[in-house]
Structure 1
Amino acid sequence: MQTTSNLLMIKPVRFDFNAETAVNNSFQQASADEQVSAKATAEFDRFVSVLRNAGVQVTVVEDTPEPHTPDSVFPNNWISFHTDGTIFLYPMFAVNRRLERKPHVLSAIAEKFQVANTIDLSTYEQQHVFLEGTGSMVLDRENKIAYACLSPRTDLTVLNDWCNKAGFRPVAFTSVDSKGDPIYHTNVMMCIADRFAVICLDSIPDSKERTAVTETLQDTKKEIIEISFDQMNHFAGNMLQVKNTTGQHYLVMSSQAYHSLTPDQVQRIEKYNPILHSDITTIETNGGGSARCMMAEVFLPEK
């Protein structure tokens, strides 16, 4: 099953620019706006409404003021949920992001879903190697493939360990932005849906790696919809396919990402599913993440 109708989203309480993550996230820009937190909360609420109005089930858990976790709105980096009842916890690059693993979030999930096993990989933080969940990995769940661009936040050793434990095959490569700097998370440059993939192939400089990724996508019968560096910079790679309770699929993205797409790209995507988008500009600018980062897919069996 590639898509789910259940999402976990964390409502921010003290959202802010995080200097600890900005060292290797070129998408972040500090704002002088004193209303950043309030604006981010309003954007979050509107985004949740867009999803719920489409029939997608969203479990909203409000963050706590203390400890201060400015990036808590991006839960997909520290936790993932799987069909066999397994939860994975991930090693995080930024020290203050490790505080996002809050017990009340896990309790809220356990109230609604069956949790059979928790695998905690956060001990890798002691070795200063990291794997930031479905930010570091873009998962083809049906074909058991984990695409991952290696970076300071995505270590090959941890990736291989996760793949061994989860039963996935890694497809690792290097991806860079237009300036040649490493892309911090794979889900910035690609998205895997049930029958198509959105990807910035230009960001993979090594021709052999680019060919390997392309051939893997083709072998798994995915139509490849390419995006440019400029579109990637507008978060057009940061998308997630979801479904509602009746089985209708949607591709979810930010309004910024949507407006960067060409009419042809929109048409090719909507051949498979409608698009849902919401304006989350404050979150994107200060947090350096977009719509996909805000949604942790819950594949656990429901109680």
Structure 2
Amino acid sequence: MLKQQSLLQKKQSTVQNANCVVMVPPKEFAFNAETAQDNEFQHQVTESTSQVRLAAMQEFNAMVISLRQAGVQVVEFDYPLGEVETPDAVFPNNWFSTTAKGELFTFPMACKNRQHEVKVDALAEALQQAGRTITLQDSLTDYLQQDAHLESTGVMVKDHVNKTVYAALSQRCDREVLEDYSKRIGYDRVVSFQTALPSGKPIYHTNVMMAIGESFCVICDEVIPEFERRFVIKSLAKDKQVISISLEQMNNFCGNILQLETINGEKVIAMSQSAYDAFSPAQRAQLASHGKLLPFNVKTIENIGGGSVRCMLGEVFLPSRKKQL
């Protein structure tokens, strides 16, 4: 009984969901030929670059407004331009992460032009101006010298309550870097696994195939080899409602969703309109029991960038000095 009470207290004191996110405007957004080498979710289009960026910016702005109206703090990081264009800067969750202890981590990204997105000093300043406290800056970018990569919460889906990291191994998710980072943040378990799409290629980012909330998870388990699949599902099912999605649903970004909290502690689940429409009515009802569903139309960003709503949200767990929208 005492052990159960201790476990319950531990879980109650651990925050699964952020109430603040970083979003980056897609002012250099375009089809990224470098990332398309292993991202099968990207598509080239016939529209001009200016047309694409206008549509992407409209989607971005509408999403920022809606999140703020829902009560989620949004830090709009209007990053300084560099000599190299960063077409995927709208997906900031791949290069940084934060902890409730005030730590800000930066990560080694696989694609050369994406490495130019890492602007840690400017981000730290923006976060501090938003009322967040940073006590430590740490970086794993030295691993680039070994050609080893770890693209933050793109490749790591975290169960903060159980201090467990789930990760699909790929060229963007190196096992050694994964283990190192997990130790640095004091997480007890790493559940890594292989994946395979119908093409035979691995999933490029774990967060397109699975999402973990406080008491639920969404997962496209059919892309995991059977001998590993049973272990992953068993681990998740210990204290989560497991919502399994099909390959077709994953291709509509049903796995790329994120549970957040408002500044008043209410649960919301951010997803794209594509994902919302692809979930079955029963699945939508299951998800709605865990928080208000917030669907956003980001079809341009999804189609060309190969990432969706979750990829656009860099969670901020840093301690807050004040509540601010």
Please report the TM-score for the alignment, with normalisation by the length of structure 2.
Answer: 0.91
**Greater Cα shift, 6-15 or 189-198:** 6-15
Say yes or no: does 1:18 pair with 2:32.
yes
**1:137: which partner in 2?**
156
Give the AA of the match of 1:258: Y
Secondary structure, aligned partner of 2:259: strand
Secondary structure, aligned partner of 1:19: coil
Secondary structure, aligned partner of 2:153: helix
C-alpha separation between the residues in 2 aligned to 1:14 and 1:91?
21
Give the AA of the match of 1:173: F
Secondary structure, aligned partner of 1:40: helix
Of residues 116, 125, 131 in structure 2, which corresponds to 1:107?
Answer: 125
C-alpha separation between the residues in 1 aligned to 2:82 and 2:135?
29
Say yes or no: does 1:245 pair with 2:266.
no
Say yes or no: does 1:255 pair with 2:269.
no
C-alpha separation between the residues in 1 aligned to 2:111 and 2:290?
37
Secondary structure, aligned partner of 2:24: strand
How far is the alpha carbon of 1:59 from its aligned partner? 0.6
Say yes or no: does 1:151 pair with 2:170.
yes
Point out the structure with max Rg over C-alpha: 2
Deviation sequence 1:238-291 (CA, Å, 0-9, x none): 000001111110111000111111111101111221210110011011111000
Checking the alignment, whether the CA contact within 8 Å between 1:178 and 1:229 is kept in structure 2 is: no
C-alpha separation between the residues in 1 aligned to 2:309 and 2:33?
21
Q: How does 1:229-240 map to 2 (within 5 A)?
A: 229-240=247-258
Give the AA of the match of 1:175: T
Checking the alignment, whether the CA contact within 8 Å between 2:124 and 2:134 is kept in structure 1 is: no
**1:28: which partner in 2?**
42
C-alpha separation between the residues in 1 aligned to 2:44 and 2:110?
19
Give the AA of the match of 1:57: Q
Of residues 53, 56, 64 in structure 1, which corresponds to 2:72?
Answer: 56
C-alpha separation between the residues in 1 aligned to 2:197 and 2:65?
33
Deviation sequence 1:188-243 (CA, Å, 0-9, x none): 100000010000011102x2211111111122x10100000000001100000001
Checking the alignment, whether the CA contact within 8 Å between 1:13 and 1:65 is kept in structure 2 is: no
Deviation sequence 1:81-109 (CA, Å, 0-9, x none): 10001111000000111111123222111
Of residues 184, 193, 196 in structure 2, which corresponds to 1:165?
Answer: 184
Secondary structure, aligned partner of 2:253: coil
Q: Give unmatched runs, 5+ long, in structure 2.
A: 1-14
C-alpha separation between the residues in 2 aligned to 1:110 and 1:6?
13
Of residues 283, 292, 298 in structure 1, which corresponds to 2:310?
Answer: 292
Secondary structure, aligned partner of 2:34: helix
How far is the alpha carbon of 1:12 from its aligned partner? 1.8
Checking the alignment, whether the CA contact within 8 Å between 1:12 and 1:63 is kept in structure 2 is: no
How far is the alpha carbon of 1:127 from its aligned partner? 0.8
Checking the alignment, whether the CA contact within 8 Å between 2:259 and 2:269 is kept in structure 1 is: yes
Q: Runs of at least 4 residues of structure 1 off by over 3 A?
A: none
**1:175: which partner in 2?**
195
Please report the TM-score for the alignment, with normalisation by the length of structure 1.
Answer: 0.97
Give the AA of the match of 1:101: V
**2:6: which partner in 1?**
none
Give the AA of the match of 2:276: Y
